[in-house]
Amino acid sequence: MKNSPRPLFKLGNSAVPVRKPISRRLMLRGATAAVGLPLLECMMGSSIRSTQAVQTAAKPPVRLCYLYFPNGVAPGSWDPVQTSDQSDLKALNQWMAPLEKHKDNLLLLRNVWTPRGNGHGAGTATWLTAGGYDPRKIDAGGLSADQLAAKTLGTQTMLPSLELSLEGEGFFSNSLPRNTISWSENNTPVTRETEPRAVFDRMFGSTGQNRAVQKSTLDLVLEEANQLKRKIGRNDNRKIDEYLESIRAVERRMDFSQKKSELAEQNPELKKFMKRPEAGIPDDHGEYMRLMYDMLVLAFWSDATRVSTYMLDHGQSNRYFNFIDGVMGTWHAISHWRDTSGKTEDDDGKHSWISRDQKQQMYNRIVMWHHRQFGYFLDRLTSIEEAGRPLLDQCSILYGSSLADGHSHQARNLPLLVAGKAGGHCLTGKVSNFKRSTSMSRLHLSMLQSAGVPVKEFGGSNSPLEFG
């Protein structure tokens, strides 16, 4: 037992100065496109280019990311199987198994809640504001944490922030509070991007309306990339090649189904590279979700932005997940797992269930499917190196919901976790099980401070979370 609590987020590290670094904001530019670059050794000065020096002296920026899913989770499905006496995370349960290999980079939070906002509508709208929602005034009670961060961190990047969402499905797809977690003012929701091409073009795309649709973004900047590669070292050349190939890979995946003939006609040397995405949304929901995750990876890798939100669905999703074996009915109806008749107002009138246990298993399978897609995101961030460390180490990613048990609409003990070490500030591989209900605003405050946002209070809280 520890005598006193330890901070979840360590603050106050100072960076080692470097000599005459090339600007972190260096971009490759073509006639109608611009591409940001990942952190390179040549941006940190010649005196710190060894691997050891990069690890100790380079201080790349912390990225803040907020991933929201609706409808909560079934009781017990967010609890780990095993922890040590020191609250070390030893093993995840069967429903969180897709995240098992990343458990050392996770901080599970238990007994955290939103005291002033709850439910599918108000809880979604205030998940990042820590305020209360007034539907008559369309007022979320304050600026959201991501937009507060963007005011500071956004001055260093091309995009102050990036707001992503999957296109909703079901009756509440047009409900404003259910479709908004990001607020630039207490009564001003931020527009979300739902189409992969639109997201890609915001980061790497056209600077004019007459751009040739078939022309790859990287084709437009390839000459300048080759010129830069002749001036830098071997390690930086490798990083640039990996980074540009990843951009190409996203282009290729989003364009492949409609551009097969064009790809065949291209120079063989360019076949491995991708094309700009086609308009529209992929039919495969998993592919759609992963493409949007890929956009986040590219945004953080290129330093196009350091702040992002991503709604994995709207706050009362009625999406069908019948592509998952053994699942029938809509997500929202299944989340009310204690009702099995199929005759309540939450049901579609087509499905009923044999037992509560059967329905709860379906509920868990849907959440587990989302964990698998989240695991894909963590895989990608782990595979990318920045300053001698995985890019995930420079991220602070909040992943969770505004409801606990979806059936009872509980606000206490929300399913929440933080992934990434926030540049060394966040203690991961832990379970933080607070003895008393703890306001989520303290978590927001911790994340903001760890990213260097100069804020001492958020949502009525002036003390960051502590691990006890």
Residues 6+ apart with CB under 8 A from 365: 321, 324, 325, 326, 327
The whole-angstrom separation of Cα 392 and Cα 297 is: 10
Angle between helices 217-229 and 234-255 (to 10 degrees): 170
- pLDDT averaged over consecutive 10-residue blocks of the chain (468 residues)? 55 41 68 75 57 52 97 94 76 95 96 88 94 93 97 91 92 88 95 92 61 61 82 85 81 54 40 50 92 93 94 94 95 96 91 96 98 98 92 97 92 94 93 92 96 95 78
Angle between helices 285-301 and 234-255 (to 10 degrees): 150
Query: What DSSP string runs through 296-344?
Result: HHHHHHTTS-SEEEEESS-TT---B-TTSTT--SBHHHHHSTT--SS-S
The whole-angstrom separation of Cα 331 and Cα 314 is: 11
Fold of 6-16+59-213+276-467: Alkaline Phosphatase, subunit A (3.40.720)
Pairing mode of beta strands 183-185, 188-189: antiparallel
Q: How many whole angstroms from its chain centre is CA 78?
A: 19
User: What number of other Cβ atoms are within 10 A of residue 413's Cβ?
Assistant: 20
196 φψ region: left (φ > 0), alpha (ψ -120 to 50), beta (else): alpha
Q: Is residue 133 within 8 Å of 177, Cβ to Cβ?
A: yes
Q: How many CA atoms lie within 13 A of 93 on its CB side?
A: 14
Domain spans of the chain, in order of start: 6-16+59-213+276-467
Beta-bridge partner residues of 27:
36
Q: What is the DSSP letter of 34?
A: E
Q: Is residue 305 within 8 Å of 157, Cβ to Cβ?
A: yes
What tokens appear for 415 in the block? 């399913």
Residue with tokens 């084709």: 219
Q: How far is CA 175 from CA 122, 289, 316, 332, 445, in A?
A: 11, 21, 9, 15, 28
Supply the pLDDT for residue 7.
64
Q: Is residue 438 within 8 Å of 448, Cβ to Cβ?
A: no
Q: Is residue 104 within 8 Å of 434, Cβ to Cβ?
A: no
Supply the pLDDT for residue 86.
62
Pairing mode of beta strands 106-113, 416-419: antiparallel
